Structure formats: C-alpha cells, structure tokens
Amino acid sequence: MELKPNIVAIVQARMGSTRLPGKILKSIQGMPMLWHIVSRLKSVDEIDEVVIATSDLPSDDQVYEMAKNYGIACFRGSETDVLNRFYSAAKMMDAQYVIRITGDCPLVDPLTISKLIQLYFNDQFDFCGVACGAGVAKEKNINRFPDGLDAEIFSFKILSEVNNKANTILQREHVTPFIWQNNKSYKQGSLYSDVDYSDLRLTVDNKEDFDFVNWIYDMLYPNNSHFDLQDILELLENNPDVMTNKHLIGQEGYEEFWD
C-alpha cells in the first residue's frame, strides 16, 4: 500500500505589518487571529501538520511565545529572505508537500484547500494555487475566490529548487513569484471558483479589513467554530451593507509581480 505523503501547511506570519502592526495577534473571539488560521488549517483532513514561520527579530518573540503556549510548531528565520525561511520551516517539518498560507488570511477555507489539494494531485501539477490574489492578477475573465482565501501547494523538491534559483528581492520576499514567472518550467494549475467573488475582500491588511472579519467571526463563530465560505456568503447576502473594506479592492499593488 502506498504511504500517504506528508503535507505540511506553513503560515508566514510576523508582527511588522506596515498598515496594521501586530494584526496577527489581534484578538478575535478571545483568541489571536493567527491561532484561528492554524485552527482552520488543522481541520483540513489532508494536512498532516501546521507550522508558523516567523522572523528571528525580537518583535516576533510574541509570535514564538503564542505558538509555544498553544502547542503550535514554529520556525524562526530571516525577516527579509522569506523564501529561505519558508524552505527551512518545511525542512524542519520533513515536509514532502507544502501548503503556503499567509498570516493575513483568518478566513482561510478548509473545503477550498481540500479541493486545491485534490486538483494538484489529480492533475499532477508542479504548483497549484487558489485563484485569487497576486498569482492570478494578470488573468482576465476568470472566476476568482475572495481575496483572503489564498493558498498554494507544491512539493518540497520544487521548493528546494526555487530556494536555490530565485535571486531577486521580490522572489525571495514572496516565496512563489519565481514559480509564477517560470510557467514553462513548472506545470501550473489554478483552482477557479464556480462564481466570481472578486468583489469580496476577506484578507486583513488594514483596520477596515480587521473590523469586517471580526464582525463575521462575531456573527458565525459562537454557533459554529468551523464555519466556511458558504456560511460567510449567506451571512453577507442577508447583510449587504456591512462590507466596510470594499474601497480597498484593487489597491493591493499586485502589479509589481508582473511588471
């Protein structure tokens, strides 16, 4: 019988956000935002382990302490060479495959990630991502997931190769642009949504984002801590005027990845 591959979700997270410093440890329903991300990832059946990859700066001691307090694996590495930090975290966890998640996605959706993993293995891609955010910024006329459901999957073998080859500041700060920009070298796939949700922003980059996400948690989490994207969509359909961060859509600066 073939052994199940070791799939590790790695959450990039640090305290030094420029727009909303310390956002990853801001409290949602009495727990740090980062804790909620890890908790949601742990509910994905295909994921074996979750690790936080933070920096070795003193300002991120709080991240390490939070992880320690809640029994979450944590790797500390370079603040600026995030690619090497990510690679080293994967190596520490003996990952065969990695799921990349960023610390600004407290509504990461377990069902969507399961679909992403299945697509990746079924179609034997080198790399596969949820269709939202910078990775699909230059694609036209596609059905996108909401920003904030970002997730990518690729093998440790590919990660090791990219860690050796990527040589620009942008490629090393953001982990996967080297793969996106070399689509002739890597077989790439995207998980597209059935409906276009590009007008919905579920990431946390600004105070308005946090307030919106916090409201969603207040409405859904007490009755169902495992609420999913469909629950969020139904909630917003019944409350069409609560999205306080709509004006931030399109202001993300994704163009730098493709210029």
Q: Where are the domains of the chain?
A: 7-198
Q: Cα–Cα distances in Å, from 81 out to 42, 85, 133, 163, 210?
A: 26, 6, 21, 10, 27
Mean pLDDT of 82-108: 97
Report CA torsion sign: 225, 201, 210, 247: negative
Tokens of 155: 């093998």
Q: pLDDT value at position 143?
A: 97
> What confidence score (pLDDT) does residue 256 get?
59
Query: What CATH homologous superfamily does 7-198 map to?
Result: Spore Coat Polysaccharide Biosynthesis Protein SpsA; Chain A (3.90.550.10)
135, 129 contact by CB (below 8 A): yes
pLDDT classification of 254: cutoffs 50, 70, 90: low
Please give the pLDDT value at position 5: 80
The confidence score (pLDDT) of residue 1 equals 41
Q: Is 82 helix (H, G, I), strand (E, B) or coil?
A: helix
The single residue listed with the structure tokens 């079924």 is: 122
pTM: 0.94
Nearest Cα neighbor of 231 from 100, 131, 112 is: 112
